[in-house]
Amino acid sequence: MERIETDTQSLVLDDIGGLLKLISDTLKSYADEALTDSGLTYSQARAMMFLMARGGTAFRTELEEYLCISRPTAIGIVSRLEKKGYVKSYTGKDHRGRTIVQVTEWVKEKMPEMTRQREAFEEILMNGFSIEETKKLKIYLKKLYKNINEIKENPFINIARNE
């Protein structure tokens, strides 16, 4: 049985898509566990970091786009953050009825600590990488993301380009 597990793990680590999925799932799992004491999930923390990067306020649709989530999922995240007292949401009268999400003062006070934690986590992720390797990795990941979106936006693209 051990040989099969090793072979399976080797296959996952050789497959770029599988490797990206493994990294994503592991990152989310670790982050969710690390955030347990704060009562936040990884998605909720990312939502608040996005809002703070936007000056503390954004349209819910912008949050959906940033997090790459559906409208119902965004509504759920905002609703849970509101119940915890981290954000307020309201309908903007001069913005065609779009929902505006705004962090509370408490979040603004806690954000420097959250930012330090995120930066410390990224340092751990990039352990063993030079600054140049980190820059290159970001470039490659952005290229991958662009390629994925290109396929997603145009389902008629020949995925088997080498044939």
Q: Assess whether 42 and 20 both reside in one domain.
A: no
As to burial, measured by CB atoms within 10 angstroms (0-12 exposed, 13-18 middle, 19+ buried), residue 67 is middle
Q: Assess whether 5 and 42 both reside in one domain.
A: no
- The arithmetic mean of pLDDT across residues 141-152, rounded, is 87
Name the domain boundary from 106, 131, 151: 106
Whether 74 is in a domain gets the answer yes
Which range marks the domain in which residue 30 is found? 1-34
* CA angle, residues 16, 40, 97, in degrees to nearest 5: 95
Q: Assess whether 27 and 14 both reside in one domain.
A: yes
Whether 66 is in a domain gets the answer yes
CATH number of the domain at 61, please: 1.10.10.10
132, pLDDT greater than 80 = yes
Which residues touch 137 (CB under 8 Å, ≥6 apart)?
Answer: 129
Q: Please, what sign has the CA dihedral across residues 21, 27, 33, 38?
A: negative
156, pLDDT greater than 90 = no
Q: Please, what sign has the CA dihedral across residues 161, 18, 114, 47?
A: positive
Q: How many domains does the chain have?
A: 2
Q: Assess whether 83 and 27 both reside in one domain.
A: no
> What 8-state DSSP symbol labels residue 128?
T
Predicted local confidence at residue 160, as pLDDT:
53
